[in-house]
Structure formats: C-alpha cells, structure tokens
A and B are shown apart, each in its own frame.
Chain A
C-alpha cells in the first residue's frame, strides 16, 4: 500500500514503512522527479512560479508563497496516499518541512481524505521507542489484511 509519511522527509518513518512491507510516499521521491528534470532551471529544487501557483489548489493567494509552494509538492502525495503515518512532535523538521503552518495544513488535508491514519509520538527514550515501533508495526500489518 502507498503510505504517506509525516514528516514527509523522515528517515525513521521511511525506513520503518518500507521495512514493514509498504511503499512510503515521501517528499524526497516527489522532489527527485523535479530535480532530475534538466529542462527546468530553477535550482536547487526546480520549484518554479508555476509550481507555487499550483499550490492555490490547497491554499488561497493571501497565504505566504512558501506554504503554497510546499503544498504544491505535498498535495499530490496526499492525493495518492492510501494510508498515512503521522509522527507528532518530531523534534526538528527543517528545510522541506520547516514551516509549522504547512505541516498543520498537511495533516488537515490527510484528515479530509478519510484514509487509515496512525498518529505516533516521537520517542524520547527506549520504552517510548519500543511502544512506537510496536504501534506502527501493528498498523502497517493491519493494512495488509
């Protein structure tokens, strides 16, 4: 199943989703397509004004451009997702996921899709990590049934 990870660039979530037998939908993979397109010349990530405009599908013009640009990339991932894993309180989310408002908006858009979603707490110690991994594993195995 296509499982969207939030934060969409998380190493931990990407790895665990794949490890437990699903296809993680991540922002890196979404960006790879743009980055490797040599016809666009807008480094570093080849995000152009047209991409930012596509963000209007998710947020109106009065919303800062950075939010619209991010949503233009995340939106299609959300649309394609069959399930989602959301890690709450991830301690640091930079770059792609550096804008807190966009991240909240992303959760709302996932919520509206009415797909299976699991919310996890970022682990701060071994016990929490054990609980987190177990909860995620159970969710991902459940998706296969």
Chain B
C-alpha cells in the first residue's frame, strides 16, 4: 500500500478529510500523518525560518522535517490547506519547495474549500501513486509491438496507433459522448494504420474518460493524464534524457510537469477557473468569428499591450474583449491579448508551484495556437518547444506505456 504523507491544516473541519481519504483509497493508497515529538516542533520551525501563528501550521513544518530527516517513512506527500488562508498559503508553498529540495518524494499541493470532492483530487492522487509505483514503466523510452493509445479529454478525444516506435495512425474529434467519440477516432486511426482493433497487442487509456474506456477496450494500461501526457511529450519531442518542463494547457485544466530522464517528478494541476484554459481560447475564437485554427496566426500579428485584459475569469475576460472591440481594437490585437492573458495566468498560477527546468515543452491542442506559444515565450523568456503531433501527447504516451505490458519486450 502506497503511503501518502498528509501535511495539512483545516481538512477535518472543512468536511474534506473524508474526500481526501476516498481519493487515496480509490488509487490504492492511504493517507498517513508523520509522527513528530513535541520537542522537535519548535526546533523545526526555528530551522525552517518561518514562524506561523497557527500552531497547526507549525506542526505541518515539523512533519515535513520528520520526512526530510527520514524519521518517518512515506512514499509521496500531499500538502493541503484552506483556500483563502494567507498564512497557510505561504507555508504550503514553502513546504512544497522544502520537500522538493530535501527529499525525493513526489509532492502535490492543493487548497480546498468545503466543496472539494474526491473526484477533484483523484487525478492528483493517482499521479502521485503512478510516480511511486510505476517508476520502471515510466522509464520506458521506446514503444514496442503494435499498440494503441486513447486519450479521452474534456474537449477532444484522440487515438494513436504505434508500431515499433513509429506513429502509423492517428485521429482526433471533439468530445461528445465518450463512447461514440472514442469509436470515431479509434476507427479512423486503425484505418490509417491498416489494422483491426483485434490486432492491437495492448491498449492504453488516459484522460477524463480513462476508466470507462479502459473497460470498454479492455485496456492493459489505464493511467491519469499527468504522467501519461508527460511521457508522450518527451517521446514526441525526443527529449527523453535530462530535464524538462511540460506545459499542457488543456480544455478544462492546465498541467505543468517537471521530468528528469523522462520520468515525471513533480506536477501541478490547476482548474478552478476556465479563464486560463483552452476553453477560453475557444470562446475568444467564437466571439471574434474566426476558426480556432486561425486564432494563433491572428494573435501573432497583433499587439497584446494595446488591449487591457487582466481578468482571471473567462466571463469577465470575454467582457474585456467585447469592450475592446467596441472601442475599436483590431481582432489581431484582441487575439494577442487573449493569448497573453492565458499565458500570464499559467505563469502566475501553475508555474509558481513547480521549479521550471529548461527546455519547456508545450503540448496539448492549445500548443497548435501559435499565438499562445509566442505569449508563453514572452512570459517565460524562452521559446517553448512544440513537438510534432503535440495534441496527441496523451494518446502517444498511453500507446508507448501500454507496450510496457507486453511480455519479454
């Protein structure tokens, strides 16, 4: 059983402890609380250098030291505090850095409200467990045999067929109902590849619909999108050695994942507001009456500084956009501003939770919007690599990793 150390404040009193434990249990893990001696609490706070007023936060710090000094054994760390508590947010962020600098444990942070449910935590917990349990599988660099990956995302469904480490079929479609969308892309990818479904030696599923499709297609690998996508990204970008940061701006939530030799070691996943997601790009395109595929090129021609847009909310963001258009802004400038706004939020939210390591690989359907890649470049000060087939990372990762289940290969 994987032990996830919980460093937290407020979970019991926010009705979320049960949800945390449910999520952990669903992925075969259990939450544990690192033991600390009373005497060690003061000295831990002293050495840490931040002395919070709330005693529970002091205890969190002492528990982190317990892990760093190997006085308590755990496989992964979950740091969680109440949303909107400033003191806790400071401690949460600094403890995350402390754990990363002083242990090899994968860590994820989360700020909850009483509305937080197990489902929201599930992908994060599952990724923690995957990193711990499937290190060997995640180290796989080459695909073998004939395998297929299906990525059932919130916006689009993708399938990819690989044979002997080469792409031989791929397809995508907007997600309607999970089954018919998957059927469409599977059929098309198989046709391109020239194979039948029964020819597949292994199938992997990822994305929101992974469990449902995993059952339908009898998948050998059913894995969350954080680790699967990062694996697909380094494979597609041919960056399997060394370090990298993967940015995946998804339809509903965004992921930033750091990898070392192709194995993810930390990640952050955001998604409270759609203002920083692919969905906002779609809304912008719709309002500008252009295809989403044209939005990037338009944005590249525009100047984001000419349009004030600093909203964190997609609804208010669109309002800003409408106001600017009414005031006579060009659609190029507005498109550039929308891209810049998303990039800025990714930087301010996701990228503050991890330590960005170069190169940055930008993936997911939104990486095809060139204006968004340019906006990321301006924000980061470095041009992200966009690998070919960057929208297929999930499907590619699932196909690659599922081949790890083929015996003797």
Contact = CB atoms under 8 A, between A and B. Distances in A.
A25 interface: no
Interface stretch (A61-69, A79-87, A117-125, A130-138): A61-69
Contacts of B11: 66
A116 interface: no
Interface in A50-80: 51-53, 62-70, 73
B103 interface: no
A39 to B, nearest CB: 15
Contacts of A97: 55
A95 to B, nearest CB: 7
A64 B52 CA distance: 16
Q: Which of A52, A65, A97, A98 has the most CB of B within 10 A?
A: A65
Interface residues of A, number: 31
Contacts of A41: 18
Nearest to A47: B15
Interface string A94-114: 111111110000000000000
A40 B157 CA distance: 39
B380 interface: no
A102 to B, nearest CB: 8
B85 A66 contact: yes
B41 A92 contact: yes
B369 to A, nearest CB: 35
A98 B55 contact: yes
B59 interface: yes
Nearest to A43: B18
A101 B53 CA distance: 9
B54 A99 contact: yes
Given A69-B10, A92-B38, A92-B41, A64 B55 contact: no
B54 A64 contact: no
A95 B12 contact: yes
Given A65-B10, A100-B54, 17 more contacts: A42-B18, A43-B18, A45-B12, A53-B114, A63-B84, A64-B84, A65-B14, A65-B82, A65-B83, A66-B11, A66-B14, A69-B10, A69-B12, A95-B12, A98-B59, A99-B54, A99-B56
Interface of A: 41-45, 47-49, 51-53, 62-70, 73, 92-101
Interface of B: 9-18, 21, 38, 41, 52-59, 81-85, 87-88, 112-115
5 contacts: A43-B17, A64-B84, A67-B85, A98-B57, A99-B10
